[in-house]
Amino acid sequence: MRIRTLFFASFKDLVGTGRIDLDVPDGTTVAGLVSALRKRGGTWEKLPAEPAVAVNLEYSELSRALHHGDEVAVIPPVAGG
Amino acid sequence: MRIRTLFFASFKDLVGTGRIDLDVPDGTTVAGLVSALRKRGGTWEKLPAEPAVAVNLEYSELSRALHHGDEVAVIPPVAGG
Amino acid sequence: MIFADLTRDEISPQEALARVGAPGHGAVVLFLGVVRDHNEGRGVQGLEYEAYEEMAERVLEEIAREAARRVGSDRVAVIHRVGDLAVGDVSVAVAVSTPHRGEAYEASRYVIEEIKKRLPVWKRERYADGEEGWVPGHPPGEAGAGEGGDTP
Amino acid sequence: MIFADLTRDEISPQEALARVGAPGHGAVVLFLGVVRDHNEGRGVQGLEYEAYEEMAERVLEEIAREAARRVGSDRVAVIHRVGDLAVGDVSVAVAVSTPHRGEAYEASRYVIEEIKKRLPVWKRERYADGEEGWVPGHPPGEAGAGEGGDTP
């Protein structure tokens, strides 16, 4: 299944892109996706192993199973206000 | 010595005037003044025996000794804000 | 700048805001007291604030200075209205700015609580049924004044 | 009316105030976050807020609704700016009205604390010495986020 992942702020600077579409096996969890991203090597390895994430615009557990078309965001520490 | 006393809001309604000038003996305290006011009889007796008071624009103890020309205010419960 | 004023004119929240703020201040808190259409279950049409004006101006400034000192800010503005007010009118505006938000909230709250406790101002309500009456109020300085009962 | 907005335009405190208030509401609290000229001891010339906009709009509205529910009010307005801001610009405005003041302060504080904890927004500061950098921020949802350190 195809999953879009978004990166913001310092994470976007780190991986050099604001988004990536990856094909991952059915049943992949958010944690599995993060692991696959980190395995791309280079600066991708510097993404945290357990970042805050959102799935389809809501904060989510890393254990959540993904479905085709889900939009995942890897959320760096926030600094609004 | 001559002392001016001011009344506001419900106390003004009670005694029927916003101010009164009284001659009291030297050394009279605020408490003594209040007592003299209450002795005027009629609705004056309904003034509290120990009201909040201000002398020369500052809250004051009832034990404070007054001096000629002091301005005393008998302060009903406040309701600003 | 500490600013304290008792006024018969309509209170402008913008004016209160314009009196606070500084390049190092990241937080502004504005409190507005507004005349409600009811109190203690009775419909209210309007009210009159009477003040011991000379003293109230002093007390208002004292309170503003105390609040500023408590949080180490020099930007506190407080404006209290007197005279006749209609429902929806602003009766009091308190503006504070500080470097960080905790202090701004603290100073703001301090000012309004102290006003309720000790500002020599009295409120006469005009009720929907045509009656009028002085709102009971709080003995000046008494602990717990203000937040009890049905007052805003 | 619950109002939540993420905007690239200058924030108007008056607009935030105009979105709250009701005939039975005696208290209004407005909080403004303002860009300071320094942070952690460094001179700041301006900053950029980046947001995960679609999510931030949702979270902002969620927070406003939560605050309203907590105090039983239906008047909470929150506006957060994104894009480039200069020193003195308002980055966030939170307006709340309630019948009594305790609830207005509580709801106001709740909104700003939750924004600091979980709004997906990031801040890049431009320093006086020409450098730039992302402000460290707080892991979303972590307790104690926001009021620590040197944030406004």
- Residue B34 has what pLDDT? 98
Give residue-wise pLDDT tens across range C31-45.
999 999 999 889 999
Who has greater pLDDT, C16 or C41? C16
Q: In what order do the strands lie in the sheet with B19-23?
A: B19-23, B2-7, B71-75, B52-55, B58-60
**One-letter identity of residue D1:** M
How far does the CA of residue D79 sit from the closest CA of chain C (Å)?
Answer: 15
Is the pLDDT assigned to residue A47 strictly greater than 70? yes
Q: Across all residues in chain B, what is the average pLDDT?
A: 97
C142: confidence class by pLDDT, cuts 50, 70, 90:
low
Is the pLDDT assigned to residue D133 strictly greater than 70? yes
- Residue D141 has what pLDDT? 74
Angle subtended by helix axes D101-118 and D53-71, to nearest 10:
150
CA distance linking residue D136 with residue D105, whole number of Å? 28
Which of C26, C37, C105 shows the shortest C-beta gap to D105? Answer: C105
- Tell me whether residues C23 and D87 touch, CB distance under 8 A: yes
Residues of A in contact with D54 (CB under 8 A): 57
Counting residues of chain C whose pLDDT is more than 70, the rounded percentage is 93
What is the arithmetic mean of pLDDT over B57-70? 97
Angle subtended by helix axes D101-118 and C101-118, to nearest 10:
180
Of the residues D25, D29, D91, the best mutation for testing chain C's interface (the one with the most C CB atoms within 10 Å of its CB) is D29
Q: Across all residues in chain C, what is the average pLDDT?
A: 93
Residue C122 makes CB contacts below 8 A (sequence gap 6+) with B8, B9, B10, B76, B78, B79, B80, C49, C50, C51, C134, C135, C137
The residue of chain D nearest to residue C104, with distances taken between CA atoms, is: D31
The two tokens of residue C46 are 């309007």
D145: confidence class by pLDDT, cuts 50, 70, 90:
very low
- Residue D62 has what pLDDT? 98
Is the pLDDT assigned to residue D47 strictly greater than 60? yes
- Residue D114 has what pLDDT? 98
Give residue-wise pLDDT tens across range B25-45.
999 999 999 999 999 999 999
D30 φ, ψ to 5°?
-115, 125
Range with the poorest average pLDDT among B53-57, D37-41, D76-80: D37-41
D82: confidence class by pLDDT, cuts 50, 70, 90:
very high
- Residue D40 has what pLDDT? 86
Is the pLDDT assigned to residue C147 strictly greater than 60? no
Which of D33, D92, D119 shows the shortest C-beta gap to A78? Answer: D119
> D48, D86 in Cβ contact below 8 A?
no
Whether B and A touch (3+ CB pairs < 8 Å), yes or no: no
Task: Determine the straight-line distance between the first and last CA of chain C, rounded to whole angstroms.
Answer: 27
How far does the CA of residue C65 sit from the closest CA of chain B (Å)?
Answer: 16
Is the pLDDT assigned to residue A63 strictly greater than 70? yes
- Residue C40 has what pLDDT? 86
- Residue C69 has what pLDDT? 98
Q: What is the DSSP letter of B45?
A: G
- Residue C150 has what pLDDT? 42
What is the arithmetic mean of pLDDT over C46-65? 98
CA distance linking residue C77 with residue C2, whole number of Å? 6
Give residue-wise pLDDT tens across range D87-132.
999 999 999 999 999 999 999 999 999 999 999 999 999 999 999 9
- Residue C144 has what pLDDT? 44
- Tell me whether residues D121 and A78 touch, CB distance under 8 A: yes
Give residue-wise pLDDT tens across range A50-61.
999 999 999 999
Residue owning tokens 């993904």: A66
What is residue C1's three-state secondary structure? coil
What is the arithmetic mean of pLDDT over D20-37? 97
**Short-list C109, C116, C69, CA closest to C91:** C116
C74: confidence class by pLDDT, cuts 50, 70, 90:
very high
- Residue C141 has what pLDDT? 73
The two tokens of residue C9 are 């004119």
Residue C95 at interface with chain B, using a CB cutoff of 8 Å: no
Is the pLDDT assigned to residue D5 strictly greater than 60? yes
H or E segment at D110?
helix D101-118
- Residue A41 has what pLDDT? 95
- Residue A64 has what pLDDT? 98
Task: Determine the straight-line distance between the first and last CA of chain D, rounded to whole angstroms.
Answer: 27
What is the arithmetic mean of pLDDT over B65-77? 97
Q: Across all residues in chain D, what is the average pLDDT?
A: 93
CA distance linking residue D83 with residue D149, whole number of Å? 24
Query: What ipTM was reported for this prediction?
Result: 0.94
CB atoms within 10 A of CB C82: 19
What is the arithmetic mean of pLDDT over C66-87? 97
- Residue D14 has what pLDDT? 97
CA distance linking residue D57 with residue A67, whole number of Å? 24
